[in-house]
Amino acid sequence: MDRLLKYAGQQSVIRPRDLVRLHIPRNYLGRLVRAGKLERVGKGLYSSSENPPTENRTLVEVCRKVPQAVVCLSSALRFHELTTENPFEVWIALKQGAWTPSFEYPPIRVVRFSGPSLTFGAVEHTIEGAKIKVYSPAKTVADCFKFRSKVGTELAIQALRECFREKKASMDELWEAAKICRVANVMRPYMESLT
């Protein structure tokens, strides 16, 4: 149980299957929950009661449930501090044809990518001891223009301005992301207005 508590203290969220490689019986999770040393934060997800949740906890929870997911659009904008809007759903990108996850909490919104637009700009970050993938600021802005019918054109323009103003991405990075996402012609006039 001590090894499990130590592991839970290092990770923000653990799953029962994580215990297999540590050779720790899964029934210890229930014992520690009843003792108040672990808390169940979702179906199949546990967290140490000593780890205070951060604002990115829901991103970690979703990425632990769906390991192939990449955080995108409004959720990635919030992660990179390119918007003050706090989305109530976690936006994730999945490969075309991939299984669509379904769980009640945290609520998710899935968009589909294929080819280079799925892998380009996916950067791994460590949050609360867990690794998650989030699209880079440039790729996130380009995705907002690509999915402007879902997130709104105003949000896409605001994200572009904020990204350039805060120097989160250069014009070259934004242009490359725009070409990968096939929105170069849409973004060009807005990018030209910034220079």
pLDDT, tens digit, for every residue of 14-63?
888 888 888 888 888 888 888 888 888 777 888 877 766 667 888 988 88
Structure confidence at residue 53 (pLDDT): 64
AA identity, residue 138: A
Q: Please report, for the chain, the start and end positions of each structural domain, with discontinuous segments joined by +.
A: 2-48, 57-194
pTM here is 0.78
Specify the higher pLDDT residue, 139 or 16.
Answer: 139
Name the token pair of 82.
């390119």
Structure confidence at residue 91 (pLDDT): 95
Burial zone of 114 (CB within 10 Å; 0-12 exposed, 13-18 middle, 19+ buried):
exposed
pLDDT, tens digit, for every residue of 78-100?
999 998 888 889 999 999 988 88
Structure confidence at residue 52 (pLDDT): 66
- The bridge status of strand 108-113 relative to strand 90-95 is parallel
Structure confidence at residue 51 (pLDDT): 67
pLDDT, tens digit, for every residue of 140-173?
999 999 999 999 999 999 999 999 999 999 999 9
Structure confidence at residue 146 (pLDDT): 96
What are the start-end ranges of the H helices in the chain?
2-10, 27-34, 57-65, 73-79, 116-119, 137-146, 148-151, 153-165, 171-180, 184-194
Highest mean pLDDT among 32-46, 94-108, 175-189: 175-189
Cα diameter, the chain: 60
Structure confidence at residue 55 (pLDDT): 76
Scan for tokens 């546990």, then name that residue. Answer: 46
Determine the average pLDDT of the residues in 57-83. 91
Structure confidence at residue 180 (pLDDT): 96
